[in-house]
């Protein structure tokens, strides 16, 4: 699974095919030149075992332990951000949760629509939300909008916590929005004073005050258009450390861009949130390994 992220292989079937003839891949996973390659269905059969035993989480912890031994991690300054991971579903699967009422509405507005497998759908003027609708293909996916001017898509959310010394991801989560960021902050050991940088989407009264209660100074970008409920003011933005945090936090976008171009998380091929979360964490771990390898090489480690 790790080499699949490194070389951007889109499926397990294609990965097995490349392992059969590529000696470099065989060396990486420890197969001799005459060893038989397993069947591609082994990935699906063992994925639940990886989830049950939290293999990806333990592997991520081992990578971070190595980085900590080499003095690469900061324990005081962090950044948090999130991205959308498009789900492998169609908008047509996003139907009302009350299936009986939905069928009646469809039959009244478009008689005979149920007889066709891929009938045309028109949502113009019909409100749809996560509270009233759900995808029949992947119920865990949600309707999200990247911005007020962007179209809503069915997606998951991935969030990372990055430290500021080396720019390594020290926490990854594929579940919530600001709640995921708070959970990753809570997981940090000790009660020392810290700072966390974030974009203006985190300038809310349900994030900033909670950070301060946790002895974490929120270096969050001020949302200039949100006059009524802004939580960041001049008492925070006047300090030099605030400007430094806002500059460093932009490096977190490098992980999202690497993950979406190399790690295949632009649109996940998995369904159910646990599997998407596992894929997201594995991709962030692989990105850390690539970054650490470059740093070790520059420092003369072998």
- The answer to whether 257 and 239 are in contact (CB under 8 A) is no
pLDDT score for 64? 92
Output b/e per residue, 75-107; b: 16+ Cβ within 10 A.
eebbbbbbbbbbbebeeebbbbeeeeeeeeebe
**23-32, 118-127, 291-300: least confidently modelled range:** 118-127
**Is pLDDT at 162 greater than 80 in this prediction?**
yes
Count of CA atoms in the C-beta half-sphere (13 A) of 97: 8
**Average pLDDT score over the chain:** 83
Span 283-292, pLDDT tens digits: 999 999 999 9
Residue 101 pLDDT > 70, yes or no?
Answer: no
| C-beta of residue 207 within 8 angstroms of C-beta of residue 217 | no
Fold topology of 71-87+154-299:
Nucleotidyltransferase; domain 5 (3.30.420)
Mean pLDDT computed over 187-203: 82
CB 202 within 8 A of CB 218: yes
List the Cα angle 91/96/102 in 5-degree steps.
Answer: 110
Neighbours of 264 (CB within 10 A): 18
CA-based nearest residue to 198, from 161, 145, 152:
161
Mean pLDDT of 23-32: 87
Q: What is the pLDDT of residue 183?
A: 80
More confident site: 120 or 245: 245
Secondary structure element (H or E) that encloses residue 237, with its range: helix 234-237
Q: Which of 143, 117, 119 is nearest to 130 (CA)?
A: 143
Q: Is the pLDDT of residue 251 over 70?
A: yes
Sequence-ordered strand ranges (E) for the chain: 77-86, 94-96, 133-135, 142-145, 152-163, 169-173, 194-198, 216-220
Report the percent of the chain where pLDDT is more than 70. 88
Return the pLDDT at 117: 65
HSE-CB of 134 using CA atoms within 13 angstroms: 8
Average pLDDT over residues 197-207: 84
Which residue has better confidence, 147 or 55? 55
Q: What is the pTM of this model?
A: 0.84
Location of each CATH 3.30.420.10 domain in the chain: 71-87+154-299
Q: What are phi and psi of 92, to 5 degrees?
A: -70, -20
**Closest Cα to residue 159, out of 223, 85, 219, 68?**
85
End-to-end alpha carbon distance in the chain: 24
- Beta-bridge partners for 83: 158
């Amino acid at each position: 699974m790790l080499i699949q992220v490194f070389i951007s292989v889109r499926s397990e079937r294609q990965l097995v095919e490349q392992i059969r003839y590529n000696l470099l891949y065989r060396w990486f996973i420890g197969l001799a030149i005459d060893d038989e390659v397993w069947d591609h269905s082994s990935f699906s059969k063992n994925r639940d075992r990886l989830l049950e035993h939290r293999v990806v989480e333990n592997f991520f912890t081992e990578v971070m332990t190595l980085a900590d031994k080499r003095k690469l991690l900061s324990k005081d300054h962090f950044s948090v951000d999130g991205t959308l991971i498009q789900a492998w579903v169609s908008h047509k699967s996003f139907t009302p949760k009350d299936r009986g009422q939905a069928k009646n509405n469809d039959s009244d507005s478009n008689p005979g629509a149920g007889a066709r497998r891929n009938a045309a759908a028109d949502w113009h003027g019909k409100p749809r939300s996560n509270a009233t609708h759900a995808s029949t293909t992947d119920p865990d996916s949600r309707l999200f909008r990247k911005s007020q001017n962007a179209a809503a898509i069915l997606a998951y959310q991935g969030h990372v916590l990055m430290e500021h010394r080396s720019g390594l991801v020290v926490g990854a989560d594929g579940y919530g929005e600001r709640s995921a960021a708070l959970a990753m902050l809570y997981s940090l050991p000790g009660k020392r004073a810290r700072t966390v940088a974030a974009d203006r989407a985190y300038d809310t009264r349900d994030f900033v005050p909670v950070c301060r209660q946790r002895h974490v100074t929120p270096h969050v970008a001020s949302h200039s258009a949100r006059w009524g409920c802004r939580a960041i003011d001049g008492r925070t933005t006047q300090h030099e450390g605030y400007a430094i945090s806002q500059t460093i936090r932009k490096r977190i976008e490098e992980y999202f861009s690497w993950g979406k171009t190399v790690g295949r998380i632009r649109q996940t091929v998995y369904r159910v949130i646990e599997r998407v979360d596992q894929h997201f964490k594995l991709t962030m771990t692989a990105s850390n390994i690539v970054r650490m390898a470059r740093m070790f090489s520059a420092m003369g480690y072998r």
